[in-house]
Structure 1
Amino acid sequence: MTTVIDTHTDQSAPARVDTGLAGMKIGFLGILRSEWTKLWSLRSTYLTLATAVVLMIGIGTMVSAVNAGDIRGLDPIYLSLAGVSFAQLAIGVLGVLLVSGEYSTGSIRTSLTAVPSRLPVLAAKITVFAGVVFAVSLPTAVVSFLIGQSVLGDAGVSLSADGALRSVFGAAAYVTLAGVIGVAFGALLRNTAGAVATFVAIFFLLSPVTQLLPGSVKSSIDPYLPSNAGGVLYNSVVTNGLSPLAGFALLFVYTIAAVTGAAILLRRRDV
């Protein structure tokens, strides 16, 4: 019996593995459901959200208690929301993990195979993440405000006071936008340590570093840093020359810039 060998077969070509996903058409709603499931399947989601809640309420209460005896020159609203800047760290880390974790395990390949255009995956991640973070941050900010004002006693104000409700919503918006920037950093760098370090540097180290600069240079840079632009959202007393609306607009521009960079690289790079 004669064996026939096909000499035209390219033995060096890699075998094609059919994942069963390439021919599927998945709508955006389906991608949203997938990202929702992935978000809540992570243990870090529960831990970091709980940490953010504890930090926002706990630090706000502590700062209010420390200053309850004399708040002359201080903003009682800002005191009760002092934990926001710490809560944003937990939320920023969660945003990074949402993307970098998939790259570290390789599971991102499945998502991008099912959605070859790729951008809907990033859009769905951001939509689900931002919705969850805002839904958690807003009631947490309300509770932090109410407890802080209660601790301040007669020096405290009500939620109907001028700037109070705006500051509470601003705190939730700031934490949410900062978290979305964390998601963008995770997609940009695809490395958890590097993305978290970048987030910390931008939101926690840039402002102290500018204090070392000459006064004129410092005053022209400091108000426009992401952390300071976001800070005016939950501070009823404007201290850096930016109005709450201007601060929100600037932080939103930073967020869009980070997300745009992540989207461009997501389309251009291999997985």
Structure 2
Amino acid sequence: MTVTELSPTRAYKVTGPRVLRSEWAKFWSLRSSWITLGVAVVLLILFGAIASYTYSSDAPASGGPGGPGSSSGDSTAVSLALTGVTFASLAVGVLGVLLSAGEYSTGMIRSTLTAVPRRLPVLWSKAAVIGPIALVLTSIGALAAFLLGTPGLDGEKIALSLGDDGVLRSLAGAGVYLGMVALFGVALGTLIRSSAGAIASLVGILLILPGLASLLPDSLYDTINPYFPGNAGQAVYALQQSSGSLSPGTGLAVFAGWVALALAGAAYRLSKTDA
């Protein structure tokens, strides 16, 4: 009697938790995951701290959640701390794209889908891995940027503390927004199946689309502008609701709707077309 006969090969069933563990291991085994997440957090902290320490009530603000061109009177300690959110969003969005579209570039997706024939658990597991990781790490980065920048605003009228109304909600909102941007990147990568094309689409949708829409008639632009993904996302972490923008709760719902729509499109293509 052979050893094989004594110890027959066990057949392992493909389950959701096992697919999730596989995607978790795959995510952390990639050097790009560590680098891109580190870049996102560093950008958040660095730009936020620099904006706070270089703030002058007499100088125009460089942007922040209020958007480029905001006056210094629109700035708050929170908006300065979150100056790096736009740059961090590109980093986590690109990471989401690479996590999904990267497998199509290398051909690894064929092995993945052979191991998981039902396909959709792969997409959900990728989203379940990157979303919470991006949310937690960027929330920590936003909090660190605020705390590091607080001494630089000592004595300024815009100075705030963590206990002030809306501060923690805004900092947490930045993390929630960036976590959803990572999910958006995963969806676009799966839908487009090209890293370059998905990254270009991500940048275009979040940053360029609102600018192009300004060419529309003013009445139409004012109506639809708050509902663009990037603008709705900014409302999630804005400390104060500006004129013409959505409330944080509405902005969260709108941006989550865009992400859900992209994930639905990605799921349909993944389940209906060959890799």
TM-score if structure 1 supplies the norm length? 0.88
Residue of structure 1 equivalent to 2:79: 78
Residue of structure 2 equivalent to 1:134: 135
Give the C-alpha shift of residue 76 in structure 1: 2.2
| Greater alpha carbon shift after TM alignment, 86-95 vs 230-239 | 230-239
Give the C-alpha shift of residue 73 in structure 1: 3.4
Give the C-alpha shift of residue 139 in structure 1: 0.8
Residue of structure 2 equivalent to 1:7: none
CA distance in 1: counterparts of 2:245 and 2:101, whole angstroms: 36
CA distance in 2: counterparts of 1:218 and 1:147, whole angstroms: 38
| Greater alpha carbon shift after TM alignment, 61-70 vs 31-40 | 61-70
Residue of structure 2 equivalent to 1:169: 172
Which digits, 9 at most, give the CA deviation of each residue in 1:96-116, with x for residues without a partner? 000111111111111111111
CA distance in 2: counterparts of 1:140 and 1:221, whole angstroms: 31
CA distance in 1: counterparts of 2:221 and 2:46, whole angstroms: 32
Of 30, 39, 43, which aligns to 1:42? 30
Counterpart of 1:213, as a letter, is L
| Greater alpha carbon shift after TM alignment, 219-228 vs 185-194 | 219-228
Residue of structure 1 equivalent to 2:4: none
Give the C-alpha shift of residue 265 in structure 1: 0.4
CA distance in 2: counterparts of 1:36 and 1:73, whole angstroms: 41
Residue of structure 2 equivalent to 1:58: 46
Indicate if the aligned counterparts of 1:75 and 1:237 stay in contact, CA closer than 8 A: no
The answer to whether 1:107 aligns with 2:108 is yes
**Structure 2 portions without partners, runs of 5+:** 1-10, 59-71
Higher Rg: 1
Of all paired residues, the percent bearing the same amino acid is 43
Residue of structure 2 equivalent to 1:227: 230
SS in 1 for 2:155: helix
**Structure 1 portions without partners, runs of 5+:** 1-22
Residue of structure 2 equivalent to 1:267: 271
Give the C-alpha shift of residue 168 in structure 1: 0.7
SS in 1 for 2:239: coil
Residue of structure 1 equivalent to 2:219: 216
The answer to whether 1:159 aligns with 2:162 is yes
| Greater alpha carbon shift after TM alignment, 140-149 vs 254-263 | 140-149
Cα RMSD, aligned residues only: 1.4
CA distance in 1: counterparts of 2:164 and 2:97, whole angstroms: 36
| Greater alpha carbon shift after TM alignment, 205-214 vs 110-119 | 205-214
CA distance in 1: counterparts of 2:260 and 2:169, whole angstroms: 22
Give the C-alpha shift of residue 144 in structure 1: 1.0
Give the C-alpha shift of residue 126 in structure 1: 0.4
Counterpart of 2:53, as a letter, is A
SS in 2 for 1:154: coil
CA distance in 2: counterparts of 1:159 and 1:119, whole angstroms: 41
| Greater alpha carbon shift after TM alignment, 182-191 vs 200-209 | 200-209
Residue of structure 2 equivalent to 1:8: none
Residue of structure 2 equivalent to 1:15: none
Counterpart of 1:136, as a letter, is L
Counterpart of 2:226, as a letter, is P
Give the C-alpha shift of residue 85 in structure 1: 1.2
Counterpart of 2:82, as a letter, is L
Of 189, 205, 210, which aligns to 1:207? 210
Counterpart of 1:147, as a letter, is L
Count the aligned residue pairs. Answer: 249
Which digits, 9 at most, give the CA deviation of each residue in 1:28-64, with x for residues without a partner? 1111111011111111111111110111111112222
Indicate if the aligned counterparts of 1:96 and 1:183 stay in contact, CA closer than 8 A: yes
Indicate if the aligned counterparts of 1:184 and 1:258 stay in contact, CA closer than 8 A: yes
Residue of structure 1 equivalent to 2:16: 28
Indicate if the aligned counterparts of 2:184 and 2:259 stay in contact, CA closer than 8 A: yes
